[in-house]
Amino acid sequence: MTIPISLPDSLRDFLEEDMRQRGHESLDACAAFLLERAKQMKPPRMTMELDGQTYGLTRLSDSQYHDIWRSTIAIEEDLPFEFALSRSADLDLAETYAVCRHLFGERGRGFDDWKGGFAFPLGLEVPRAPRRPAYLFKVMNYRSGVEYCLRRLVDPSDKRLKEPVYYPPDAAEFSRAEINRFTSFFVGFLKGYFESLTTWWKERFLLAVESNLILYGFDGEAFFTRQFDSPEEFKETRATLAKRLPTPGFYARDGD
């Protein structure tokens, strides 16, 4: 492949090799990818306006997430809400990964790679909480679905840190109703963003959920999510696709 612009030979060779390996169709696509990688020097951040309030989301490295996790408590799950959310999900695994990959950088390592293919650890700022961030919010592939995991930061002396159970939300800071509205809004935002992303996404990838015999990715033309009936068919198809679809890398920052 020849790039029809004047570049130093070493840079031209690097870009051409990167284009071949990743399946970029043009120099613009290659440059966009490299710029996205460069953004990881500064954590991706976004704000969301909901009910007249501003929420902030900042990408965390795995080490940052784990360091903060030590001072957090788990928030009780609302199982009926989560079930309804999963039933109404408009994005499949491949589509969810692609949107989060674009918004927040490469996936993190904080997931069970037998039961999932990605996790995106985020710090969440909420309007009435003094801490920045006040919560950990992780978007994670678990088996055939996506989970949105929430943990609240507390003082290091808080006795609840010694009792690792689920605790009810703090209604004065971030109530159950607000948590559910925020999560629904976030999921809807991903759906809306994906509609734009489909017009230009070109990065091929392949991910797997071995526990559920699921393969998902982007083959250069379309996103796909497939579940297989037998381990043999799953393994055979995975090996075939892996020859032309790369496995995504991981987010690297602060020595992770």
Q: What pLDDT, on the 0 to 100 scale, is given for residue 89?
A: 86
Alpha carbons 180 and 104: distance in angstroms, whole number: 22
Mean pLDDT on 54-70: 97
State the pLDDT at residue 24: 65
166 within 8 A of 75, measured Cβ to Cβ: yes
Our CA angle for 16, 194, 133, nearest 5°, is 95
Q: Is the Cβ–Cβ distance between 49 and 126 less than 8 Å?
A: no
- For tokens 């990715």, the residue is 217
pLDDT tens digit string along 129-159? 999 999 999 999 999 999 999 999 999 999 9
Q: Does residue 255 register a pLDDT over 80?
A: no
- What is the pLDDT, as a whole number, of residue 1? 41
31/5 Cα distance (integer angstroms) = 13
Q: Is the pLDDT of residue 4 over 80?
A: no
d(CA 46, CA 190): 13
Closest CA to 59 of 98, 99, 96, 103: 103
- Quick one: pLDDT band at residue 256, thresholds 50, 70, 90? low
Q: Per-residue pLDDT for 13 more than 70?
A: no
d(Cα 229, Cα 154) in Å, to the nearest integer?
45
pTM given for the model: 0.83
